[in-house]
């Protein structure tokens, strides 16, 4: 269980996070949504252990994340951001192998190489192994980064693994958005705690087991059930009028602007 | 080019370096034949005096000079790789953090002050005080850049670059002022030193620079994984378990030591640290595990060639080697930039 308690964060005198208490249970696909500047990305940096909050605690299975060994943490927690800016000539294989860095000392073993190949396959980039990273399109680059992140937390561990997606699908076409989210959901079914910041509310509802609504650095709602997503909630969080079309049992509703 | 075909690249560079060294030793104001090199070495290790003037030139002048040149080249190239990785910018120079201009200022102060020294003291000043002050100048300038660029908890790369430009400008004007108030011969010393020269190479200088280069190479190679991860960005590297603040600090320290030591003995030599890593990135990519050793070898080759040119072109007079590296280096660099896509891609970043 990943738990945050009373998270406060300030930057330049502006209160960005104002007391967020939330539990992310393992084996679920969690989605965080909210308007621009509501603190989603800052919150992700805080609970991933990258940014120390002014106040409050983040615990992974009861252990304070800011007291953990960074290298150890990296063996079971991976983060995919929007689009890492890489300007140096590297092969796709070399980029994906970076995901294995927390796991080997100096020389990657055959196991690491096998995992990289598998991860590329899973990101639908199997044929790109030998390619120059800089020659790829934006979407292809992002899929390589996804493979890198998959390789990082590939192996089953005794402790929970975590995968965080920070607006990771923004540059992908529809097919690969779905494909990436499908792989992430499959991982959540293997027990990985997946937490994704998404913009598309319909994707959020069809993939998210739980959806966290944020506004102005606070948690507005943490829903478990599609029935809890109402027009009033959307109006409150995004200040937008929508119609919600409910479908059959077990199917995500569709939101129309 | 496929990277898999490049496993012969390092041995190839090694052979090329060996041939370059032999050629550089052989040619000069006096030519030395290979059999003279061997017999000179034999006499030296047997504790005998050199049998001929050629043997003496070889063991006392040519060999230390060529070897110092080789290790200096390797240090500069190594430093280039580290700095480019640290700043995540493939067109960064080792001198950017103020190290070489600070060292130049330190040296120029000694050149001007030493005019009031007695002749004996002057020799002493040139052998010990110049390297010492250059080293101190390099350290102080880099420390200044690093401290000023630091805010609250972390050092941002952009502010490091900008503060570096400012501190470089101050150090350069300091050096300029020193040459302005200097008398003719000292001003000439300052100019020569600013352009880099191996004319005063000694064995001691070679051993010090060589030891520094090897120790730092081994140390840097241990960071190759972390340096690679840093290419993705500080945040991504951090998510991969890299303590980025610690890494940045360490790389800065390594770089300062390397550049200060290299600059202290031979003066400021530009472009080697910029061009060598850049050319190699185009051929073997940016994986530091391959790039670091390849850069050391290629840096040696390039600088030894440049110094041989410096000795031969206007023989028996000498051209400062820095002039050669810049004249050859700048156009090559521009051609490389035009041909690679880094100019477009890196532009948004720089």
pLDDT value at residue B263 = 84
Residue extents of the structural domains in chain A: 2-76+159-256, 86-156
**Cα–Cα nearest to A84, from B347, B233, B341:** B233
Residue B148 binned pLDDT confidence (cut-offs 50, 70, 90): confident
pLDDT beyond 50 at B347: no
Q: Supply angle C-alpha A170, A173, A174, rounded to 5.
A: 100
Q: Pairing relation of β-strands A14-24 and A2-11?
A: antiparallel
Non-local CB neighbours of A43 within 8 Å, separated by 6+ positions? A4, A7, A17, A20, A32, A214
| C-alpha to C-alpha distance for B120 and A65, rounded to whole angstroms | 64
- How many Cα atoms within 13 Å fall on the side-chain side of residue B188? 4
Q: What is the mean pLDDT of residues B138-162?
A: 77
CB A135 within 8 A of CB A116: no
Q: Does domain A2-76+159-256 have CATH number 3.40.50.2300?
A: no
Q: Which CATH class is domain B6-349?
A: mainly alpha
Residue with the bigger pLDDT between B157 and B5: it is B157
Calpha distance A78→A149 (Å, rounded): 6
Nearest to B98 by CA among B322, B256, B267: B256
Q: Is A73 on the interface with B (CB under 8 A)?
A: yes
Would you state the torsion angle of the CA atoms of residues B203, B206, B212, B218, taken in this order, to the nearest 10 degrees? -110
Q: Is A217 left (phi over 0), alpha (psi -120 to 50) or beta?
A: left
The Cα B140–Cα B99 span in angstroms is: 8
What is the rounded end-to-end Cα distance, in angstroms, of chain B? Answer: 27
Interface touch B233/A85, C-beta < 8 Å: yes
**CB–CB contact B241 A130 (8 Å):** no
Contacts of A73 in chain B (CB under 8 A): 241
Rounded to 5°, angle at Cα B277 from B273 and B280: 150
**B55-97: pLDDT as tens digits:** 888 888 889 999 999 999 999 999 999 988 887 877 777 777 7
Question: Which residues of B are less than 8 Å from A116 in CB distance?
Answer: none
Q: How confident is residue B265, by pLDDT bands cut at 50, 70 and 90?
A: confident
Say yes or no to pLDDT of A28 above 80.
yes
Pair B111, B130: CB distance under 8 Å:
yes
> For A191-206, how does the pLDDT look when each residue is reduced to its tens digit (9 = 90+)?
999 999 999 999 999 9
Considering only the beta carbons, identify the residue of A81, A87, A90 that sits closest to B236: A81
The pLDDT of residue B104? 86
Question: What is residue B131's predicted lDDT score, i.e. its pLDDT?
Answer: 81
Instruction: For chain B, list the strands marked E by DSSP.
Output: 150-151, 154-155
pLDDT in tens, B125-134: 777 788 888 8
**pLDDT at B341 > cutoff 60:** no
Cβ B239–A91 below 8 Å, yes or no?
A: no
Decide: A8 and A15 in contact? Cβ < 8 Å. Answer: yes
Model confidence band, residue A233 (pLDDT cutoffs 50, 70, 90) = very high
pLDDT at residue B340, as a whole number:
62
Q: H helices of chain A, where?
A: 40-47, 70-74, 92-97, 110-122, 138-152, 174-189, 201-207, 231-238
Question: In the 8-state DSSP scheme, what is residue B61?
Answer: I
Cβ B88 vs Cβ B350: under 8 Å: no
Q: Per residue in B186-238, pLDDT tens? A: 888 788 788 888 888 888 889 988 998 899 999 899 989 999 999 998 899 99
Interface residue B88 vs chain A (CB under 8 A): yes
Q: Provide φ and ψ at A198, rounded to 5°.
A: -125, 160
Find chain B residues with C-beta within 8 A of A134's C-beta: 341, 345
Using a CB-CB cut-off of 8 Å, the residues of chain A touching B345 are 87, 134
Going from the C-alpha of A95 to that of each of A140, B59, B144, B264, B268, the distances in angstroms are: 13, 48, 35, 38, 36
3-state secondary structure of A133: helix
pLDDT at B338: 76
Over residues B253-260, the mean pLDDT reads: 85
- Looking at residue B318, what is its pLDDT? 84
The Cα–Cα gap between B257 and A182 comes to 50
CA angle B100, B305, B80 (to 5 degrees): 35
Answer whether B240 sits within 8 Å of A74, measured CB to CB: yes
Q: What is the pLDDT of residue A218?
A: 93
A 115-174 residues inside an 8 A Cβ radius of B? 130, 134-135, 152
The kind and range of the H/E element at A217 are: none
Q: How far apart are CA A18 and CA A39, in angstroms?
A: 9
In this predicted model, which residue has the larger pLDDT, B120 or A214? Answer: A214
Is A77 within 8 Å of B349 when comparing Cβ atoms?
Answer: no
The DSSP-derived string for A46-103 is: HHTTSS--SEEEEEETTEEGGGS-HHHHHTTEEEE-S-----S--BHHHHHHGGGGGG
Among A20-34, A35-49, A92-106, B304-318, the minimum mean pLDDT is found in: B304-318
* Predicted local distance difference test score (pLDDT) of residue B96: 76
Q: Is the pLDDT of residue A175 over 90?
A: yes
What integer is the mean pLDDT of A75-83? 91
Contact B346 A87 (CB under 8 A): yes
Quick check: B126 and B114 in contact, CB under 8 A? yes
Tell me how many residue pairs between chain A and chain B have CB atoms under 8 A apart: 86
Q: How far are the Cα atoms of A91, A166, B282, B336, B344 from residue B339, in angstroms, in the given order?
A: 18, 35, 10, 5, 11
B256 touches chain A (CB under 8 A): no
Q: How many CB atoms lie within 10 A of CB A12?
A: 5
């Amino acid at each position: 269980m990943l738990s945050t308690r009373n998270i406060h964060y300030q930057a330049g005198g502006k209160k960005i996070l104002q007391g967020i208490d939330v539990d992310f249970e393992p084996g679920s696909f969690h989605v965080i949504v909210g308007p621009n500047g509501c603190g989603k990305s800052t919150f992700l940096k805080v609970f991933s252990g990258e940014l120390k909050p002014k106040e409050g605690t983040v615990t992974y299975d009861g252990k304070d994340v800011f007291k953990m060994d960074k290298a150890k943490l990296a063996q079971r927690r991976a983060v995919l951001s929007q689009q890492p800016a890489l300007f140096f000539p590297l092969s796709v294989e070399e980029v994906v192998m970076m995901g294995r860095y927390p796991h080997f000392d100096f020389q990657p073993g055959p196991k690491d190489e096998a995992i990289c190949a598998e991860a590329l396959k899973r990101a639908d980039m199997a044929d790109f192994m030998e390619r120059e990273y800089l020659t790829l399109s934006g979407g292809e680059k992002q899929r390589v980064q996804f493979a890198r992140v998959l390789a990082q937390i590939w192996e089953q561990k005794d402790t929970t693994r975590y995968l965080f997606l920070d607006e990771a699908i923004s540059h992908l076409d529809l097919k690969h958005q779905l494909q990436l989210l499908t792989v992430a959901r499959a991982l959540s079914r293997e027990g990985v705690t997946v937490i994704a910041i998404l913009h598309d509310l319909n994707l959020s509802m069809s993939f998210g087991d739980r959806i966290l609504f944020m506004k102005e650095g606070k948690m507005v709602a943490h829903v478990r059930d599609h029935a809890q997503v109402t027009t009033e909630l959307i109006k409150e969080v995004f200040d937008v009028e929508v119609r919600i079309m409910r479908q059959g049992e077990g199917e995500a509703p569709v939101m129309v602007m | 080019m496929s990277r898999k075909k490049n496993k012969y690249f390092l041995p190839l560079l090694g052979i090329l370096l060996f041939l370059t060294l032999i050629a550089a030793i052989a040619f000069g104001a006096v030519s030395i034949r290979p059999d003279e090199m061997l017999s000179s070495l034999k006499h030296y290790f047997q504790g005998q005096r050199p049998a001929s003037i050629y043997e003496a030139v070889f063991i006392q002048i040519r060999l230390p000079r060529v070897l110092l040149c080789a290790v200096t080249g390797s240090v500069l190239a190594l430093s280039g790789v580290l700095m480019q990785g640290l700043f995540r910018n493939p067109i960064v120079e080792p001198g950017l953090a103020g190290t070489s201009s600070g060292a130049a200022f330190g040296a120029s102060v000694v050149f001007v002050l030493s005019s009031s020294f007695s002749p004996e003291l002057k020799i002493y000043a040139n052998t010990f005080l110049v390297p010492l002050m250059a080293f101190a100048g390099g350290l102080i300038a880099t420390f200044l850049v690093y401290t000023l660029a630091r805010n609250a908890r972390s050092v941002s790369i952009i502010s490091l670059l900008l503060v570096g430009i400012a501190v470089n400008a101050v150090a350069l004007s300091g050096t300029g002022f020193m040459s302005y108030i200097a008398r003719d011969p000292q001003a000439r010393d300052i100019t020569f030193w600013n352009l880099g020269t191996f004319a005063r190479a000694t064995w001691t200088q070679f051993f010090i620079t060589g030891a520094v280069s090897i120790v730092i190479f081994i140390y840097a190679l241990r960071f190759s994984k972390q340096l690679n991860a840093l290419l993705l960005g500080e945040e991504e590297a951090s998510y991969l378990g890299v303590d980025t603040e610690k890494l940045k600090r360490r790389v800065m320290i390594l770089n300062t030591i390397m550049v200060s030591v290299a600059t202290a003995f031979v003066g400021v030599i530009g472009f080697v640290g910029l061009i060598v890593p850049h050319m190699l990135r185009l051929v073997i990519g940016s994986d530091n595990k391959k790039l670091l050793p390849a850069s050391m070898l290629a840096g040696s080759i390039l600088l030894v060639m440049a110094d041989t040119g410096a000795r031969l072109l206007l023989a028996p007079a000498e051209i400062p080697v820095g002039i050669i590296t810049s004249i050859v280096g700048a156009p090559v660099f521009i051609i490389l930039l035009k041909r690679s896509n880094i100019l477009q891609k890196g532009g948004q970043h720089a």
